[in-house]
Structure formats: C-alpha cells, structure tokens
Amino acid sequence: MAQRKPIVAGNWKMNGSLELVSEICGEVEKHNNADVDVIIFPPALLLKDVVNKGVMAGTQTISEFDSGAYTGEIHAKLAHEIGAKYTLVGHSERRSLFSESNQQVADKFAKAQQFGLTPILCVGETEQQRDAGKTEEVVAEQIKAVIDKLGVAALNNSVIAYEPVWAIGTGKTATPEQAQTVHKFIRHMLSSYDEQVAQTLRILYGGSVNEKNSESLFAQADIDGGLIGGASLQKDAFISICKSALGNV
C-alpha cells in the first residue's frame, strides 16, 4: 500500500479572529511535525494573517470565474498570490446553502488547479440519502463530475474529503468502520480508472471529528487524516488531533 502523508485541515467557517490566528498558529508552529500536513482554512479576511504566521493555509471556497462583476467572490489567482496553497471545493454547506451543483464544483476544482491551488474536493451524503442506501451513488456522482470534466489524472494534484452531511456540526460521527467503508469504496472506485491515483490520493474524513475520536478514525487503513470543524477553533483539541494523525505514519 502506498504511504500517504496525513493531513489535518482546520475549517474555521465564518469564525475566528486575529487573536485566534495568533493562538492557533502559535501552537501549530510549536508542535510542528514534518510527517503531517497541517492546513488552516480561515475566513478569507484572515487568510493573509495565517500565511504570515508561517502556517499552511487555504480558502474555504473560490470562484469558478477568472474576473469580472462577481461581487464578494474569491479569485483563485489572488488567493494563490497571497500565499494560499489549498482550497476547499464543494463543502456541503456550499452545496446546500449556496446551491452549488456537481458541475459548478468541478468548475471550481479546475480553476483551483489552473492557478496553483490544490483542491480538497468535499463529498458526502445526507441522512436521507444514507437511509435510502444511496451513499455510494451520491459520492460516486460527486467525484465523477470532476473526472468527467478533467480526467482522473487531475486527482493526482488534489485531496478528497468524505464528509457525511448528517455528521457535520451535529455531534454525530460516523463510526470508524462506517467511515472506512466509504473511504474504501472511494479508493476502489478510483482504482477502476487508475490504480496509481487510487493508492496515492489522500482521503480525509470530516464530520464532528474531535480529540476523543480522531485516533480511532485515523487508524483506519483508507483514512488519511481529517477535515476538522469546531474542534479546529480550540487549540488544545486541534493539537491533540494533529498528534493523533501521526499514529499511521
């Protein structure tokens, strides 16, 4: 099996402050370990401040457009120029609250790569879809939208984050076994396109990950780290999660 470097990514959503940037980034730097990639996704207005602290940073979304009359949108090129390395695309909140379609997410994925950002493609099913037995179908469609647009090789320069919608911010968490089943499915699906991509692509789990469950989640064979929400705003919890990602190195 390919050795995949774990990622712990903190998605602050519309939370945070200059004070929190100093606090969290200071702890990340203090506990820096080259065997884990730690990435902070702050609100856009704090992106430069995270970069200036020497911590790897990304945007929570980008525009699929190059320029023009798109008030409030984030240009991938400008994000890269001020130091962003990554961007989330297709987070469930973008899909549900802002009606982003699979095609729009694929367009954003392409724009990120065009301007030097590594996209983290977020996929996942709602509770209703899971209850209807459609988890694999939904996840496959979300990934195939990118493959259909760009080809499977585009996934070489990307990350996938599996986030069951029913577990985001709800306190519910997929069991390690449930999460592993979907991660294994994703890897198996990708192997039908390209075995090398399937074995080297890093797949993160997100959905109420905290310092109590991260170790057991990250111990699963196909889980390569986490996309962390609320716990990424708490320095001790976040550092504990980062340390637990070392268990599989």
Is residue 215 in some structural domain? yes
For the stretch 115-127, pLDDT in tens is: 999 999 999 999 8
Is residue 23 in some structural domain? no
Q: Which residue has the tokens 């995949």?
A: 4
Is residue 27 in some structural domain? no
188 is catalytic: no
- Cα(42)–Cα(57) distance, integer angstroms: 8
Number of domains in the chain: 1
Is residue 115 in some structural domain? yes
Q: Which of 64, 93, 125, 163 is catalytic?
A: 163
For the stretch 212-233, pLDDT in tens is: 999 999 999 999 999 999 999 9
Annotated binding site for substrate: 11-13, 169, 208, 229-230
183 is catalytic: no
Residue 170 — pLDDT band, cuts 50, 70, 90?
A: confident
So what's the pLDDT on residue 2?
A: 55
Q: Which residue has the tokens 């099913």?
A: 125
**Tokens, residue 45:** 């207005």
Q: Which of 91, 100, 125, 183 is catalytic?
A: 91
> Residue 239: CA atoms inside 13 Å, Cβ hemisphere, count?
12
The number of angstroms, rounded, from the C-alpha of 145 to the middle of its chain's C-alpha atoms is 17
Is residue 6 in some structural domain? no
State the residue range of the domain holding 84.
Answer: 58-231
- Cα(216)–Cα(41) distance, integer angstroms: 24
Q: What is the CATH number of the domain that holds 107?
A: 3.20.20.70
Tell me what percent of the residues of the chain surpass a pLDDT of 70.
Answer: 98
Is residue 42 in some structural domain? no
Check whether 249 has a pLDDT greater than 50: no
pTM, rounded to two decimals? 0.95
Is residue 130 in some structural domain? yes
